């Protein structure tokens, strides 16, 4: 059996890969930040270098 420990952030426009043990979990999905998990309130991005999600 293989255990997945890293996956793409569940936010469609985000390019980040997150470690499931450190990710923000919401509705059984894994996100790289609170901004992604909350649907980008106020157009906030995840602020990770190289990722232009929600910009």
For the chain, what are the domain ranges?
A: 6-42
Query: Class assignment of domain 6-42?
Result: mainly beta
Q: Summarize pLDDT for 10-49 with one digit per residue, the tens.
A: 999 999 999 999 999 999 999 999 999 999 998 899 999 9
pTM: 0.86
Q: Are the CB atoms for 21 and 7 separated by under 8 Å?
A: no
> Which helix (H) or strand (E) covers residue 17, if one does?
strand 17-19
Grade residue 55 by pLDDT with cuts at 50, 70 and 90: low
């Amino acid at each position: 059996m293989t255990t997945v420990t890293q996956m793409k952030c569940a936010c469609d426009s985000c390019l980040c890969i997150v470690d499931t043990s450190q990710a923000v979990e919401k509705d059984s999905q894994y996100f790289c930040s609170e901004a992604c998990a909350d649907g980008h309130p106020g157009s906030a991005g995840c602020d990770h270098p190289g990722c232009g999600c929600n910009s």
